[in-house]
Amino acid sequence: MRLYLASTSPARLATLRAVGIEPDAIPSHVDEDAAIAGAGPLTAAETVQLLARLKAEAVAESGAAFDGLILGGDSAFELDGRVYGKPHLPEVARERWRAQRGRSGILHSGHWLIDARGGIIGRAVGGVAAAEVRFADDIADDEIDAYIATGEPLEVAGAFTIDAKGAGFITGVVGDPHAVVGLSVPLLRRLVRELGIEVHFRKSIWHAQVAVPTLKAKKDKQGTPVLLRDQVKSEISTCLITLHDQVADMVLQLVKITRTQS
At 257 the pLDDT is 44
**What would the pLDDT profile of 238-251 be if each residue is shown by its tens digit?**
445 445 555 455 54
- Are 66 and 109 in the same domain? yes
- Are 190 and 221 in the same domain? no
State the alpha helices, DSSP H only, in the chain: 10-18, 32-39, 44-60, 90-100, 141-149, 185-194, 226-261
CATH of the domain at 81: 3.90.950.10
Domain residues for the domain of 172 are 2-194
Helix (H) or strand (E) holding 175: strand 170-175
Report the C-alpha gap between 238 and 230 in whole angstroms: 12
CB atoms inside a 10 Å sphere around CB 35: 16
Number of independent structural domains in the chain: 2
- Are 96 and 149 in the same domain? yes
- Is there a contact between 117 and 179 (Cβ–Cβ < 8 Å)? no
Question: Would residue 74 show up in a list of annotated catalytic residues for this protein?
Answer: yes
Helix (H) or strand (E) holding 135: strand 124-135
- Is there a contact between 99 and 81 (Cβ–Cβ < 8 Å)? no
- Are 138 and 22 in the same domain? yes
Of the listed 24, 74, 80, 138, which one is catalytic?
A: 74
Residue type, 112: W
**What would the pLDDT profile of 46-85 be if each residue is shown by its tens digit?**
999 999 999 999 999 998 889 999 999 999 999 999 999 8
* 134 bridge partner residues: 104, 172
- Are 183 and 224 in the same domain? no
Full-model pTM: 0.74
At 182 the pLDDT is 93
- Is there a contact between 161 and 152 (Cβ–Cβ < 8 Å)? yes
Which residues in the chain land under pLDDT 70? 199-262
Report the C-alpha gap between 22 and 261 in whole angstroms: 50
Question: Does residue 19 belong to any structural domain of this protein?
Answer: yes
**What would the pLDDT profile of 89-105 be if each residue is shown by its tens digit?**
999 999 999 999 999 99
At 198 the pLDDT is 79
